[in-house]
């Protein structure tokens, strides 16, 4: 990665799905997951990770005209559009409310042309942007909205901290927290990832990158793949975008020095590569999205303090209770591990809260930097911003903020496991010859 900017795959580095010799561009393990996907390649890293781009064409400043099933491009041309098909495993999809929401603003679209018809995969609201004129907020807690309000309130940009005389920002490094789903009792914990990219003068954030750690050994009902992908794909893909089924929040630093995102990118690259090749196994208790992201963040040099387990004292009692009540060894063992796991590696909300607190201490000078990355954050951060993203209205029930503890998780779900709302996912067997 060059020192001048954070690398975005350009058009000549985009690799189309099917019919391409991926062996020349990506690792064998990555080929297994992305042979049917549009990807970008880092030109400075041979056999690098794919950047998941999802679709080959991007259109900006587009107006949606759902009553005519057309889109108006920035040059005035009008074309018919069609939405990408809903996955059979993900039938709750776009409805009239969704199209009304999108028709009220300019959009950035990802998709493909089929003759004169544009097949839309991603719809990004262009009023979701960053600006120096953000309203000040005294705490990151003002960014995270509770309850259904967190899903229905419009996009909000806040400035949590600002240096009096900071250099003009060129980069961004942040943390993204996704809420609890309203239709899945296994998803009250939410989701967590790291965000990084170039600062755009006009405030566009859709091309920032998200390292999305996800279980590679299951076929997601929404079509999610573990990948470094663009923020517009991560949040607003019509099938797998987070905003289709829950609210999200993003907090991060505007930077004048690329070193922090270079260090984080390198750590993410190594961790994601190991996940693809199965050097370790993704697990919801020990190696989930939060644990892998926090491991990479700490490895890069941000020494976020740990919080310890939820309760070592209660874990054996819970194990016995689950074993007697459900007569399921695996369920009892999982509950035991949940209560013993370090909380900043287990719970997205806890990792988000603890990381922001430490980040604010570093950039404000209240915490002495202990690493090169922390020293760079101290000198290069001009401001810290917070963003609230609403859930896009659709046929889905609204989500809310994720739980902050395993105890709160238990209070949200039915007492009996058989009464939980669960979306089953089939396994995705990984070829043994590709294992690391």
Asked if residue 1 belongs to a domain, the reply is no
Q: How does residue 19 score in pLDDT terms, banded at 50, 70 and 90?
A: very low
Looking at the fold, whether 63 and 44 belong to one and the same domain comes out as no
Looking at the fold, whether 382 and 242 belong to one and the same domain comes out as yes
Looking at the fold, whether 33 and 180 belong to one and the same domain comes out as no
Q: Name the pairing type of β-strands 135-136 and 156-162.
A: parallel
Looking at the fold, whether 143 and 91 belong to one and the same domain comes out as no
Instruction: Answer yes or no: is pLDDT of 399 > 80.
Output: yes
Looking at the fold, whether 297 and 261 belong to one and the same domain comes out as yes
Looking at the fold, whether 144 and 175 belong to one and the same domain comes out as yes
Instruction: Answer yes or no: is pLDDT of 2 > 60.
Output: no
Amino acid 397: pLDDT: 93
Amino acid 133: pLDDT: 83
Domains identified in the chain, total number: 3
57 contacts: CB under 8 Å, gap ≥ 6: 110, 111, 112, 113, 118
Amino acid 65: pLDDT: 97
Show which of 77, 102, 125 is a domain's final residue: 125
Asked if residue 418 belongs to a domain, the reply is no
| Backbone angle region of 278, left / alpha / beta, with phi > 0 → left and psi within -120 to 50 → alpha | left
* CB distance 9 to 42 below 8 Å: yes
Q: Calculate mean pLDDT across residues 16-43.
A: 72
Looking at the fold, whether 297 and 404 belong to one and the same domain comes out as yes
Residues 156-203: pLDDT tens digits? Answer: 999 999 998 878 999 999 999 999 999 999 999 999 999 999 998 899
SS3 at position 362? helix
Q: Range with the lowest mean pLDDT among 92-106, 109-123, 135-149, 422-436?
A: 135-149
The beta strand positions in 300-368, using DSSP E, are: none
Range of the domain at 222: 135-307+342-412
Angle at 348 between CA 158 and CA 362, to 5 degrees: 55
Asked if residue 107 belongs to a domain, the reply is yes
Residues 292-337: pLDDT tens digits? Answer: 999 999 999 999 999 988 766 665 666 566 665 766 756 766 766 7
302 contacts: CB under 8 Å, gap ≥ 6: 355, 358, 359, 362, 371, 373, 374, 377
Distance CA 120, CA 139 (A): 37
Report the mean per-residue pLDDT for the chain: 89
Distance CA 223, CA 240 (A): 6
Q: How does residue 108 score in pLDDT terms, banded at 50, 70 and 90?
A: very high
pTM of this structure: 0.93
Looking at the fold, whether 201 and 265 belong to one and the same domain comes out as yes
Amino acid 123: pLDDT: 98
Considering only residues 124 and 31, tell me which one the structure prediction assigns the higher pLDDT: 124
Angle at 235 between CA 229 and CA 238, to 5 degrees: 100
Q: How does residue 49 score in pLDDT terms, banded at 50, 70 and 90?
A: confident
Amino acid 320: pLDDT: 60
Q: How does residue 1 score in pLDDT terms, banded at 50, 70 and 90?
A: very low
Residues 362-387: pLDDT tens digits? Answer: 999 999 999 999 999 999 999 999 99
Looking at the fold, whether 32 and 181 belong to one and the same domain comes out as no
Amino acid 358: pLDDT: 98
167 contacts: CB under 8 Å, gap ≥ 6: 256, 380, 382
User: What number of other Cβ atoms are within 10 A of residue 371's Cβ?
Assistant: 15
Asked if residue 367 belongs to a domain, the reply is yes
Instruction: Answer yes or no: is pLDDT of 55 > 80.
Output: yes
Asked if residue 423 belongs to a domain, the reply is no
Looking at the fold, whether 105 and 180 belong to one and the same domain comes out as no
Q: How does residue 11 score in pLDDT terms, banded at 50, 70 and 90?
A: very low
Looking at the fold, whether 107 and 18 belong to one and the same domain comes out as no
Q: How does residue 91 score in pLDDT terms, banded at 50, 70 and 90?
A: confident
Q: How does residue 10 score in pLDDT terms, banded at 50, 70 and 90?
A: very low
Q: How does residue 31 score in pLDDT terms, banded at 50, 70 and 90?
A: confident
Distance CA 249, CA 146 (A): 12
Asked if residue 87 belongs to a domain, the reply is yes
Helices (H) and strands (E) in the chain, counts: 12, 16
Asked if residue 216 belongs to a domain, the reply is yes
Asked if residue 417 belongs to a domain, the reply is no
Q: Sort 261 into a burial class: Cβ within 10 Å, 0-12 / 13-18 / 19+.
A: buried
Looking at the fold, whether 86 and 40 belong to one and the same domain comes out as no
CA dihedral 107, 112, 113, 117 (to 10 degrees): -60
Q: Calculate mean pLDDT across residues 344-357.
A: 97
């Amino acid at each position: 990665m060059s020192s001048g900017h954070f690398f975005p795959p350009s058009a000549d580095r985009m690799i189309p799905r099917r019919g391409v010799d991926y062996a020349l561009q990506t690792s064998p393990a990555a080929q297994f997951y992305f042979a049917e996907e549009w990807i970008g390649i880092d030109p400075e890293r041979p056999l690098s990770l794919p950047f998941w781009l999802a679709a080959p064409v991007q259109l900006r400043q587009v107006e949606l005209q759902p009553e005519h099933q057309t889109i108006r491009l920035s040059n005035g041309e009008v074309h018919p559009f069609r939405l990408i098909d809903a996955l059979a495993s993900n039938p709750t999809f776009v409805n009239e409310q969704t199209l009304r929401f999108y028709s009220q603003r300019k959009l950035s679209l990802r998709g493909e042309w089929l003759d004169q018809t544009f097949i839309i995969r991603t719809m990004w609201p262009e009023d979701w942007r960053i600006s120096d004129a953000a309203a000040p907020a005294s705490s990151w807690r003002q960014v995270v909205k509770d309850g259904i309000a967190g899903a229905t309130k419009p996009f909000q940009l806040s400035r949590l901290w600002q240096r009096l005389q900071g250099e003009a920002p060129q980069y961004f490094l942040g943390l993204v927290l996704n809420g609890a789903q309203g239709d899945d009792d296994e998803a009250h914990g939410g989701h967590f990832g790291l965000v990084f990219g170039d600062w755009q003068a006009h405030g566009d954030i859709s091309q920032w990158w998200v390292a999305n750690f996800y279980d590679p050994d299951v076929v997601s009902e929404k079509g999610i793949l573990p990948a470094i992908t663009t923020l517009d794909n991560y949040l607003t893909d019509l099938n797998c975008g987070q905003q289709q089924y829950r609210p999200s929040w993003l907090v991060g630093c505007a930077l004048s020095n690329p070193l922090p995102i270079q260090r984080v990118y390198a750590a993410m690259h190594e961790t994601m590569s190991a996940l693809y090749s199965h050097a370790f196994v993704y697990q919801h208790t020990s190696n989930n999205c939060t644990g892998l992201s926090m491991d990479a963040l700490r490895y890069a040099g941000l020494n976020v303090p740990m919080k310890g387990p939820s309760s070592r004292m209660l874990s054996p009692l819970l194990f016995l209770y689950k074993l007697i009540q459900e007569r399921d060894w695996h369920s009892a063992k999982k509950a035991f591990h949940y209560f013993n796991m370090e909380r900043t590696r287990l719970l997205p909300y806890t990792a988000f809260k603890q990381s922001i607190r430490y980040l604010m201490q570093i950039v404000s000078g209240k915490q002495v930097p202990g690493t090169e990355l922390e020293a760079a954050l101290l000198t290069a951060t001009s401001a810290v911003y917070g963003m609230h993203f609403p859930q896009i209205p659709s046929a889905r029930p609204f989500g809310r903020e994720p739980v902050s503890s395993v105890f709160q998780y238990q209070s949200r779900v039915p007492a009996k496991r058989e009464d939980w709302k669960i979306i089953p996912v089939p396994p995705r067997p990984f070829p043994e010859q590709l294992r690391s």
